[in-house]
Amino acid sequence: MDNAYVIGVDYGTDSVRSVLVDAHNGEQVASAVHHYRRWKKGLFCNSVKNQFRQHPLDYVEGLEETIKSCLSKAGPDIASNIKAISIDTTGSTPIAVDKSGTPLALLPEFESNPNAMFVLWKDHTAVKEAEEINIHAKKFDINYLQYVGGIYSSEWYWSKLLHILRADEAVRSSIYTWVEHCDWIPFLLTGGSDADAIKRGVCSAGHKSLWAKEFDGYPPNDFFASLDPLLDGFVLNIANETFTADQRAGHLSADWATRLGLSTEVAVGIGAFDAHMGAVGGQIEPYYLSKVMGTSTCDMLVAPKNEVEGVLVQGICGQVDGSIIPGMIGMEAGQSAFGDAYAWFKNLLLWPLKHFHASADANNLISEELLHRIEENIIPELSKLADEIELTEELEFALDWLNGRRTPDANQALKGAFFDLNLGTDAPKLFRALVEATCFGAKKIVDRFNEQGVTVKGLIGMGGVAKKAPFIMQMMADVMNMPIKIHRSEQTCAIGAAMFAATVAGVYPHVEEAMEAMGQGFDTEYFPNSEKASIYQKRYQKYSEAGAFIERKISQDIDILSASI
């Protein structure tokens, strides 16, 4: 196929990015990014309550603006040869839609209602509902949680739906079905007008919604109705067939073709989660843990079906046939806070400056330019100073559960903590402890795979933290005591989406061929320091013991609170 170009769209937590790519060699012709306007203002969120919602208009506006920007930069000759568009999104990030498939927040009566918006992956308002699902699942002869690691999370589809149904009568009376972000955008682009026709990807359905071919689809309606009558019938409004990301959702609708300046012949691929497509963009290999490191981490691993048959890794975010590479078992794990933990610490240190800068006497204290320079340089400077601290067993240490724990063994009720503080503890030492904690949290995931028969052979790093934070990546290699190679591309998720788009367009018969032809390779590799690795192993034991203590304490507090209600 001559002159074939594709577009990959990557929806992140703060922004959406589109890349226009030559399907034959992976050359990036143009890219554009759009930061969500409402999200940037902090609208519809309440971090104290762990409520994080995003308005669908942020997504729609970003989709149109970034694709049109890419096409404008590329020129008409290239634009006329666009063959396909594929998208990835954060997840689980679902929304309530009506029978036409329209998100309720796009209706006038719901336009300012957070419960009618996308419930972002890191929204943890459904902790109670997740725990109820875990208890309820034990009543059934079939273990419906076996393919999602045995523990259901407050970050996922059904717990979030149940929470919204309980919290908002208006949404409850208007909702028809509950749709993941990655499934809704292809439905939008193809002009969908009937929610029953939404094509659900096996990625979202298998990892977050309890779909499994071994169950012939989703758990039965009785599983949900007996949990809470509010869920009665919802599973019946979800199409039981699922699709891999190398398949088509359809073609651009006439409306979207006109809006974007493209042809209705442009194919639209089935959507998937960002980390899954990012693993493909980062050229994942069997048994290599591909770590997409951003605000959180998503750790992806693929294995041939015949080699892991009968293996069920407990405490991860699921293992699903075809969720990453069609024909292979995709396994997902991750950490609820990674870059978010560093951002929290940065904002903590910046609070006095920002507070006084916003006061009436701001002009007499600090300029806007200086504040911006400090904000930009605080993490690099902390990293430099932290790297100079001599590693000993006695240094301060921390727990990285500032946003709960995703894996292993999801528990969003857990909290972060610092230990061994004294009057000599300063900001670089605290930052160093926090970075170490996130690396220890990553090691827990590798240990779980290894313990349960899926040997991790190596590490692949992707995302902003992997590319921009050598101090963190070197510590990761030392803590893991194994090398970590960093993918050259700064946009592995969007490039992965473009690889799937090239497959959907028919340029390649399988996504593996697209990975080989369009992949950009690796540009850096960090190797472990054996002396430091031995010290980290001892400190890792302290981290594990402290984590067990905190987990027991929080569990006891919850039991006492429950007994008093």
Mean pLDDT value across residues 389-402:
97
pLDDT class of 246 with cuts at 50, 70, 90: very high
564 pLDDT band, cuts 50/70/90, is low
* Alpha-carbon radius of gyration of the chain: 23
SS3 146: helix
Q: What is the pLDDT of residue 331?
A: 97
Average of per-residue pLDDT across 452-469:
94
Q: Per-residue confidence at 109, pLDDT binned at 50, 70, 90?
A: very high
Number of H helices, E strands in the chain: 19, 22
Mean pLDDT confidence for 429-457: 97
> In this model, does residue 304 exceed pLDDT 90?
yes
Q: Count Cβ atoms within 10 A of the Cβ of residue 224 and give its class: 0-12 exposed, 13-18 middle, 19 or more buried.
A: buried
Q: Indicate the residue type of 270.
A: I
Q: Mean pLDDT throughout 506-525?
A: 96
Residue whose pair of structure tokens reads 């429950």 in the numeric block:
562
| Segment 16-25, tens digit of pLDDT | 999 999 999 9
Confidence label for 280 from pLDDT (cuts 50, 70 and 90): very high
What mean pLDDT is predicted for residues 552-558? 82
User: Angle CA(276)–CA(434)–CA(531) in degrees, nearest 5?
Assistant: 90
Q: What is the mean pLDDT of residues 224-235?
A: 98
Q: In this predicted structure, what is the pLDDT of residue 214?
A: 93
Task: Give the pLDDT confidence of 493-508 residue by residue, as tens digits.
Answer: 999 999 999 999 999 9
Beta strands in 252-309 (DSSP E): 267-269, 272-273, 288-293, 297-304
Distance CA 68, CA 18 (A): 9
**What's the mean per-residue pLDDT of the chain?**
95
Q: Kindly list the structural domains of the chain, giving each domain's residue range(s) and its CATH number in brackets, ordered by start.
A: 5-282+489-523 (3.30.420.40), 339-488+529-564 (3.30.420.40)
Query: H-helix or E-strand containing 21?
Result: strand 15-22
pLDDT at position 539 over 90: yes
pLDDT tens digits, residue range 314-368? 999 999 999 999 999 999 999 999 999 999 999 999 999 888 877 756 556 677 8
User: Would the pTM count as exceeding 0.75?
Assistant: yes
CA gap 131, 317 in Å, rounded: 15
Mean pLDDT for 505-522 is 96
pLDDT given at position 371: 87
